[in-house]
Amino acid sequence: MTPAYVALETGRVVEARTRAPGRARGELVFTTAYTGYEESLTDPSYEEQVLTFSYPLIGNYGVREERFESDRVHPRAAVARELTEDVAEWLTEEGVPAVDHLDTRDLVTGIRERGAMKCGIAAGPEATPEAAKEELSGCKGMSEHTDIGAQVSVDAAHTHNADGDGVHVALVDCGAKGSIVESLVERDAVVDVLPYDATADEVRALDPDVLFVSNGPGDPENFVAANALAAEFAGEVPMAGICLGQQVIAGALGGETEKMAFGHRGVNQPVRDLRSGRVVMTTQNHGYTVSDPGPLDVTQVNVNDDTPEGLESDDLGIITRQYHPEANPGPHDSLDFFDDVVALAEEDPVAAD
């Protein structure tokens, strides 16, 4: 067994086993998902984080590229009770350190009690506790990654389903999962994917039916350009957002966001619709939340902690969700969100005013 070490912000150094060599630093978070490890590891929202799996065995159904949400692994490192050879080989090929054979229950309990924390990892033949501590000493908080969008967004605009007959969506890519685009294309939408720092002029040149702000990593206040777009087009073009997109839109309209203690990450987060009373299970991955929705109405809340899960405004033509309705990985309870986005664009309540 080749040892590995995880240095925690608390001062502890935990010994583990190397599954993919290397050194890494990042915010230590956990997911409760027991399936969907490929989707989680390729989710851009995990950029600059170290992902701990609370489920004890990760990799029991192999690794298949068609389940990836992006073109690479985004967490800086992966931690599990046990990783299969398939996942270990994949992460080694990706150059992403991975460790197992440690008590992940203890790590998860520590995160729940203390909150997400900085960590450093050293894995491989040269790994030492001192090396892990050295990584920890250089670790930044998530709010300090002021241009994290550049690490996860497309470099240039491109179009999906250009010959589609559906609504025209301008998607601001702040770290969008591939299944968001797929969900829109399945509804025959024409989707123009724009970089995270797209300008208002670029959006106007497209003349979209709806402006869509995607999910993404880190502090929503660091996505300055996306905030500016939401403020510019509110009341002019219907808008939708998922995860970070909800936070960006709310913040741009005068609301406020805040960092959560350990966030929501998993595939079994219960969400209640305040109008119908219906509860659905959702996939989530976020460390920030909307604390003040500003002019938007809260339409859905998390059953566990009452944080806003859905925001809407009929007057402004806005609909957002904090969870991931594209449901990769996770249950399909909330896929109808994309039908609502299409209907919002087709009805164009903003133009009707």
Q: What is the dihedral of CA 47, 53, 58, 64, to 10 degrees?
A: -30
Task: Tell me which residue of 93, 4, 85, 89 sits closest to 50, measured CA to CA.
Answer: 4
Among residues 145, 264, 286, 324, which one is catalytic? 324
Is residue 45 part of an annotated ligand binding site?
A: yes
> Is 263 flagged in the annotation as binding?
no
Amino acid at 158: H
Q: How many CA atoms lie within 13 A of 35 on its CB side?
A: 8
For the CA atoms of 44, 46, 51, 53, the dihedral, rounded to the nearest 10 degrees, stands at -70
Q: Is 124 annotated as a binding residue?
A: no
Q: Name the domain boundary from 109, 140, 171.
A: 140
The predicted structure's pLDDT at residue 353: 46
Give me 81's structure tokens: 């009770």
Instruction: Check whether residue 164 and residue 75 sit in a common domain.
Output: no
CATH number at residue 91: 3.50.30.20
Residues 90 and 187 in one domain: no
Last residue of a domain, one of 73, 105, 140: 140
Q: Is residue 118 located within the same domain as residue 21?
A: yes
Q: Is 244 annotated as a binding residue?
A: yes
CATH of the domain at 177: 3.40.50.880
Q: How far is CA 189 from the centre of its chain?
A: 22
Return the SS3 of 158. Answer: strand
Residue-wise pLDDT tens for the chain (353 aa)?
899 999 999 999 999 999 999 999 999 999 999 899 999 999 999 999 999 999 999 999 999 999 999 999 999 999 999 999 999 999 999 999 999 999 999 999 999 999 999 999 999 999 999 999 999 999 999 999 999 999 999 999 999 999 999 999 999 999 999 999 999 999 999 999 999 999 999 999 999 999 999 999 999 999 999 999 999 999 999 999 999 999 999 999 999 999 999 999 999 999 999 999 999 999 999 999 999 999 999 999 999 999 999 999 999 999 999 999 997 777 778 889 999 999 998 876 554 44
Total structural domains within the chain = 2
- Which entry of 39, 47, 309, 326 is annotated as an active-site residue? 326
Which structural domain, as residue segments, surrounds residue 189?
A: 149-352
**Cα–Cα distance between 51 and 121 in angstroms, integer?**
12
Q: Is 243 in the active site?
A: yes
Beta-carbon count within 10 A of 12 CB: 12
Give the CA radius of gyration of the chain.
20
Is there a single domain that holds both residue 214 and residue 320? yes
Is 296 annotated as belonging to a binding site?
A: no
CA neighbor of 195 nearest in space, from 219, 166, 229, 162: 229
- Do 301 and 278 share a structural domain? yes
Q: Where are the beta strands (DSSP E) in the chain?
A: 3-8, 13-20, 22-31, 49-53, 57-58, 77-79, 82-83, 98-100, 117-123, 158-160, 168-172, 190-194, 210-213, 239-242, 256-273, 279-292, 297-302, 308-313, 318-321
Options 27, 145, 243, 286, the catalytic residue: 243
Q: Are residues 200 and 293 in the same domain?
A: yes
Do residues 245 and 320 make contact, with C-beta atoms less than 8 angstroms apart? yes
Domain-ending residue, one of 119, 140, 161? 140
Rounded Cα gap, residues 34 and 323, in angstroms: 17
Would you tell me how many other CB atoms lie within 10 Å of the CB of residue 155?
7
Q: Is 324 a catalytic residue?
A: yes
CA angle 121, 123, 128 (to 5 degrees): 80
102 plus 221 within the same structural domain? no
Is the same domain home to 29 and 173? Answer: no
Distance of CA 332 to the CA centre of its chain: 17
Please tell me what DSSP assigns to residue 324: B
Q: What is the pLDDT of residue 350?
A: 56
37 assigned binding-site residue: no
218 annotated ligand binder:
yes
288 is in an annotated binding site: yes
